[in-house]
A and B are shown apart, each in its own frame.
Chain A
Amino acid sequence: MMDSTCRVRRRIAATVCAVALVLPLTACEALTPGSATAVPGPTSVPSSTAVPDGDVTLRLQFADAPLMVDALIAAFEEDHPDIAVEPQYKSFSDYVQNLRLTMTSDTAPDIAQYAVGMTDLAADGHILDLAPYREAYGWDEAVPPVSLDQLTAGRTSEATGGRALFGVPAGLSMTGLYYNKDLARRAGIEAPPKTLAEFEEQLAAAKDAGLTPLGVGALDSGGLHLWAALLNQLMPTDEYWDWVNGRKGATMENPAALKASELMIEWGRKGYYDASANGTAQVDSTARFAKGDSVFLVNGNWAAGQLATVMGDDVGFFPMPGEEAGSPTVASGFSVSYAVSSRTEHAAAAGVFLDFLTSPEAGQIISDNGFLPPNPDAVKKPTGVLADIAEGHRRAVADDGITTFPDFAAPAMLDRLRSGVQKLIADRVTPADYLDSLQDEWEDHHGE
């Protein structure tokens, strides 16, 4: 009896303590999440190209291609002894996951590699609008405008009234199809396909020859590259851009996307994919292709260096062909680009560094490291599969056909795309349901 009243009393005491702890939390305005991250002063850069006096140290945080960045910094510091650049490398997943915290902290780096979350950060004023520099430095001359337009997040510039700019590219990427020349010959395939229909015939020919037609690393983002490649051929590029940029009224629930998704299922039913596509990571699918496991492989230019080393002249590359022979070349691609934090005290020095990235000297370093330089005319002509990629990229740029990856549409889109494409490959979802899940996510992020 006494024991139980004691227990009751203890419980009351515990509850009171808990409430006493929680109450001040709820009462305190400052505890409202996000209230501590005030948006800092300027949101745009000055329109002058003056190089600052005195020693400046720029902190640069990045996640891709450390060797390339080191080489770029070394070359830059030689040209500009007053400006030191201190690289801070992070692994890609670490980088992306901490991006918000990094860029809104008081110790934000001056320059940071552009990544998916940057569009939101730009909208909230944490990233400088570089549009005045775009004009002052004449970046439209040095960089194909399409590559810069990817970095506008669909916004106009308050400073110039024109297109905003939240980053400068140093090294561009593009996805497409690699093919094993030896295996292709064995399947009677003479040359890269000119149309999507011809490509399907080649897949069928490879299947008939007893080979695995298409290697896809769908465990991670490889499957998404295939779907996006088909989408690029079937959906008008403008509509695709509207969707990725979150423009009101844009939708993925359209006949073109439906057809692209149906095609994914159909190819699976016909056995065109590697049987273990859903259980294979992109890196592994590349390694298997290099061993001669499939005739074709879906991947990006970032795999070219590795494939060229292993396969030499036996590997070729082509962008996914369009519906007709004369269709424009459209391919997904993005850049290793750099944005400037609104918290930087060295916006002018950052501008000098970004301008250096657009120079022919930087272009050569980028090209030597296996990436596509923003301005391919300024570098030595590559050979082998790298030449195929450069040529494909040149055509895509000429056709204004480099589109960003679809997961740029919303932070959670990558997960929807990855699991959705896995279901398409395994014939476990209807195209309509798949597109519906993407559009739901899109509305969740872009709706009011």
Chain B
Amino acid sequence: MGNRPPVRDRRVRGRSRWRGYVYVLPAFAVYLTFAVLPALHTAYLSLFEWDGVTLGDWVGLGNYAEIFQDPVLRRSVFNALVLVVFFSFVPIVLGLLSTGLLARYRRPGMGAYRFLFMLPQVVPLVAVGVTWRWLYGDDGVVNQALRLVGLDGATRAWLGDFDAALVAVGLVGTWVLSGLCMMLFLSGVQKVDPSLYEAARIDGAGPVREFVAVTLPHLRGELAVAMTVTTVAALASFDIVYVTTNGGPGEQTTVPGLLVYRLAFSEGKVGLAAALAVVLGCLILAIVYLINRLSRSES
């Protein structure tokens, strides 16, 4: 409190602070027009029963009440939470594992290895979905491989099997996101001072000890980012599901994102779709907030 700057100085600094806003104004205007206003408009539409053509009827929070009563919608939220395991938890564990294996030593061909794992990230998800639909098909690679090792009894049309479909879709997400997690963690590890590893080794730490004591604590920031990105990918998943199973068989792989699309574009229930989108948005915000909160309190 004691060394408060002189008044004039503060005013100047205040002015320059406002000048900063002028620089972000164009970006902010774009953001406002194409993200904030549409989001508000979606929230507004969610208060109507509207088929997309004729005059909408004001129903207040009626659409929200319908969402919480609809078993299909509730089932879809459950499915999305299951996908979080495959899109987020498993890729993070795999990413940490490969980081632990790769970070300690420099090996030849690391660039190629990274490129290979990053590849799923650069391929459009629709293409990923189509490819996996083939792989999972009756005569697809997955079943061929099972037959090769004598597991003929385990073969099935994976995406059409009531018990296997959700896991099969989830594993596609695992495949896509593991590389991303690994890349994040590897880049995080590169920031670690090599002398720390040296010190750990001199103290007689093995690979596991080294990973737990040195690598892991330094990856806290990257972990938070990975968790946020992958969890959002799971909850907002649409393309992979749409292309591979379109929610089937039954409602086994129906996710909220798919329902928003269906309700708005093929079923003519725009208000209900908007309400579901708002609920989904809030759910994602809440979870992201929670992740950030947890990762911050740990540090």
Q: Which residues of A contact B (CB under 8 A)?
A: 21-22, 25-26, 31-35, 37, 96-98, 100-101, 104, 117, 120-121, 124, 126, 218-220, 275-280, 284, 288, 411-412, 414-415, 418-420, 422-423, 426, 428-429
CB <8 Å contact, B137 and A279: yes
Q: Report the bound CA distance from A280 to B133 in whole Å.
A: 10
Cβ-based interface call for B48 (8 A): yes
Q: Residues 5-41 of chain B: 1 if any A CB is under 8 Å from the residue's CB, otherwise 0?
A: 0000000000000000000000000000000110011
The listed residue (B36, B44, B250, B270) touching A422 by CB distance below 8 A is B250
Q: Report the bound CA distance from A101 to B271 in whole Å.
A: 16
**B:235-259 near A, CB below 8 Å:** 245-251, 254
CB <8 Å contact, A278 and B56: no
CB <8 Å contact, A25 and B159: no
CB <8 Å contact, A426 and B250: yes
The listed residue (B50, B248, B251, B266) touching A33 by CB distance below 8 A is B50
CB <8 Å contact, A32 and B51: no
Residue of B nearest to A34 (CB): B55
The listed residue (A25, A37, A276, A411) touching B156 by CB distance below 8 A is A276
CB <8 Å contact, B266 and A411: yes
Are A219 and B248 also in contact (CB < 8 A) when A34-B53, A35-B55, A97-B265 are? Answer: yes
CB <8 Å contact, B40 and A21: yes
Residue of A nearest to B262 (CB): A415
Q: Closest approach, in angstroms, between the C-beta of A271 and any C-beta of chain B?
A: 14
Cβ-based interface call for B297 (8 A): no
Q: Report the bound CA distance from A281 to B37 in whole Å.
A: 40
CB <8 Å contact, B266 and A100: no
Q: Report the bound CA distance from A230 to B48 in whole Å.
A: 39
Selected A-B contacts with CB under 8 Å, 17 pairs: A21-B37, A22-B44, A25-B41, A33-B50, A37-B53, A97-B266, A100-B52, A276-B138, A278-B161, A280-B160, A411-B266, A412-B266, A412-B267, A412-B268, A422-B160, A423-B250, A428-B162
CB <8 Å contact, B138 and A411: no
The listed residue (B157, B246, B268, B271) touching A275 by CB distance below 8 A is B157
CB <8 Å contact, B268 and A117: yes
**Besides A32-B55, A100-B268, A422-B250, 11 other A-B contacts (C-beta < 8 A):** A21-B36, A21-B40, A31-B44, A34-B50, A35-B56, A124-B54, A280-B138, A414-B266, A418-B246, A419-B254, A426-B249
CB <8 Å contact, A422 and B248: yes
Q: Closest approach, in angstroms, between the C-beta of B155 and any C-beta of chain A?
A: 9
Q: Report the bound CA distance from A25 to B43 in whole Å.
A: 11
Q: Closest approach, in angstroms, between the C-beta of B263 and any C-beta of chain A?
A: 8
Q: Closest approach, in angstroms, between the C-beta of A273 and any C-beta of chain B?
A: 11
Within 8 Å CB of A219, what residues of B?
159-160, 245-246, 248-249
**B:125-170 near A, CB below 8 Å:** 136-138, 156-162, 165
Q: Closest approach, in angstroms, between the C-beta of B140 and any C-beta of chain A?
A: 10
Q: Which 9 A-B pairs have the closest CB atoms?
A: A279-B160, A279-B157, A276-B157, A278-B160, A412-B267, A33-B56, A422-B249, A97-B265, A278-B249
Q: Which of A97, A278, A412, A420 has the most CB of B within 10 A?
A: A278
Cβ-based interface call for B186 (8 A): no
Q: Closest approach, in angstroms, between the C-beta of B219 and any C-beta of chain A?
A: 30
Cβ-based interface call for B177 (8 A): no
Q: Report the bound CA distance from A277 to B160 in whole Å.
A: 7
Cβ-based interface call for B45 (8 A): yes
Q: Report the bound CA distance from A95 to B177 in whole Å.
A: 33
Within 8 Å CB of B249, what residues of A?
218-219, 278-279, 419, 422-423, 426
Residue of B nearest to A418 (CB): B248
Within 8 Å CB of B41, what residues of A?
25
Within 8 Å CB of B165, what residues of A?
279
CB <8 Å contact, B246 and A220: yes
How many chain B residues sit at the interface, stated as a range, is 35 or more
Residue of B nearest to A98 (CB): B265
Within 8 Å CB of A37, what residues of B?
53-54
Q: Closest approach, in angstroms, between the C-beta of A29 and any C-beta of chain B?
A: 11
CB <8 Å contact, B136 and A100: no
Q: Closest approach, in angstroms, between the C-beta of B7 and any C-beta of chain A?
A: 17
Q: Report the bound CA distance from A220 to B159 in whole Å.
A: 12
Q: Closest approach, in angstroms, between the C-beta of A324 and any C-beta of chain B?
A: 34
Q: Closest approach, in angstroms, between the C-beta of A224 and any C-beta of chain B?
A: 12
Within 8 Å CB of B136, what residues of A?
279
Q: Closest approach, in angstroms, between the C-beta of A422 and any C-beta of chain B?
A: 4
CB <8 Å contact, A280 and B52: no
Q: Residues 44-88 of chain B: 1 if any A CB is under 8 Å from the residue's CB, otherwise 0?
A: 110010111111101000000000000000000000000000000
Within 8 Å CB of A412, what residues of B?
262-263, 266-269
CB <8 Å contact, A104 and B53: yes
Q: Report the bound CA distance from A34 to B160 in whole Å.
A: 39
Q: Closest approach, in angstroms, between the C-beta of B47 and any C-beta of chain A?
A: 9
Q: Report the bound CA distance from A22 to B250 in whole Å.
A: 39
Residue of B nearest to A117 (CB): B268
Within 8 Å CB of B40, what residues of A?
21-22, 25
Residue of B nearest to A31 (CB): B44
Q: Closest approach, in angstroms, between the C-beta of A358 and any C-beta of chain B?
A: 30
Q: Closest approach, in angstroms, between the C-beta of B159 and any C-beta of chain A?
A: 5
Q: Closest approach, in angstroms, between the C-beta of A362 and any C-beta of chain B?
A: 31
Within 8 Å CB of A96, what residues of B?
266
Within 8 Å CB of A104, what residues of B?
53
Within 8 Å CB of A100, what residues of B?
51-53, 268
Within 8 Å CB of A33, what residues of B?
45, 48, 50, 55-56, 270-271
Q: Report the bound CA distance from A415 to B246 in whole Å.
A: 10
Q: Report the bound CA distance from A275 to B157 in whole Å.
A: 8
Residue of A nearest to B268 (CB): A411
Are A120 and B246 also in contact (CB < 8 A) when A278-B160, A280-B138, A280-B157 are? Answer: no
Residue of A nearest to B48 (CB): A33
Q: Report the bound CA distance from A288 to B138 in whole Å.
A: 10
CB <8 Å contact, A218 and B268: no
Q: Report the bound CA distance from A258 to B160 in whole Å.
A: 24
Residue of A nearest to B134 (CB): A284
CB <8 Å contact, A218 and B160: yes
Q: Closest approach, in angstroms, between the C-beta of A121 and any C-beta of chain B?
A: 7
Q: Report the bound CA distance from A279 to B253 in whole Å.
A: 12
Are A275 and B267 also in contact (CB < 8 A) when A32-B56, A34-B50, A415-B262 are? Answer: no
Q: Report the bound CA distance from A195 to B148 in whole Å.
A: 43
CB <8 Å contact, A278 and B248: yes
Within 8 Å CB of A31, what residues of B?
44
Q: Closest approach, in angstroms, between the C-beta of B256 and any C-beta of chain A?
A: 14
Residue of B nearest to A284 (CB): B137
Q: Closest approach, in angstroms, between the C-beta of B66 and any C-beta of chain A?
A: 10
Q: Report the bound CA distance from A34 to B40 in whole Å.
A: 17
The listed residue (A121, A414, A418) touching B53 by CB distance below 8 A is A121
